[in-house]
Amino acid sequence: MTSAGRLAGLCIIALVLFYGAHLGETKKNSRKEHKEPNVPFPPARPTTHNLAAICHQGRGRPRYPPSFFPKSGSSHFRRRGHAMNRLESWFRVCCSGDLDEQSSQILCCAQQVWKKALSQFCVEEYSTMTLPYECCENAGEARWSCFDSELPNPNYTSTPGYDAPEIPEEPGFTFDPNTC
């Protein structure tokens, strides 16, 4: 081999060693770190134990306007956020004082809201090309039991110092007192 050939070979080896030195290391993405939006989901089933918080602490629970989410991706978090906004909007119907002051009617209304909001969430989940939320795969009481397990906020506790932004009222819920 000529000295020119050896020199070319050494240069190639040096380049491979120089540029390949980082192959085994992981590099941080040069873009901003992507943080998943925090949407505490699923909401707890309304009960006599959490009904007062549902009605009296609603302004202290998070809302999820479009600006809360990254501009792209996170569509499953958007659907969860929309479901939570819908739920809070419809809870106002139950807690507004327009219903009979009996807590049993208010509880019945809140439970109707919970089921309707989560049913609508499941419809939206199945309208995408992604896997649906696991509870949506169940039917009847199995679906409701699934949604009412592993709850991030079972008591509907408000966030200290948080005042929810105004979210447009969500159409689509009418209380049916005949089911109580």
pLDDT, one tens digit for every residue, the chain (180 residues): 555 555 444 444 443 334 444 444 333 333 444 577 889 999 999 999 999 999 999 999 999 988 888 887 788 899 999 999 999 999 999 998 766 566 789 999 999 999 999 999 999 999 988 899 999 999 999 999 999 998 999 999 999 999 998 888 899 999 999 988
Question: What is the tens place of the pLDDT at every residue in 116-159?
Answer: 999 999 999 999 888 999 999 999 999 999 999 989 999 999 99
pLDDT at 140: 96
pLDDT at 4: 52
Taking the whole predicted model, whether its pTM rises above 0.85 is answered as: no
**C-alpha atoms less than 13 angstroms from C-alpha of 75 in its C-beta half-sphere:** 11
Asked whether 77 and 69 are in contact (CB, 8 A), the reply is yes
pLDDT at 34: 54
pLDDT at 25: 37
Tell me the domain boundaries of the chain. Answer: 51-152+170-179
pLDDT at 100: 57
Query: DSSP 3-state helix, strand, coil percentages of the chain (rounded to 5)?
Result: 50, 0, 50
pLDDT at 63: 93
Contacts of 158 (CB under 8 A, 6+ apart): 53, 57, 59, 60, 61
Euclidean distance between CA atoms 140 and 153, whole angstroms: 23
What percentage of the chain reaches a pLDDT higher than 70? 78
Sequence letter at residue 133: Y
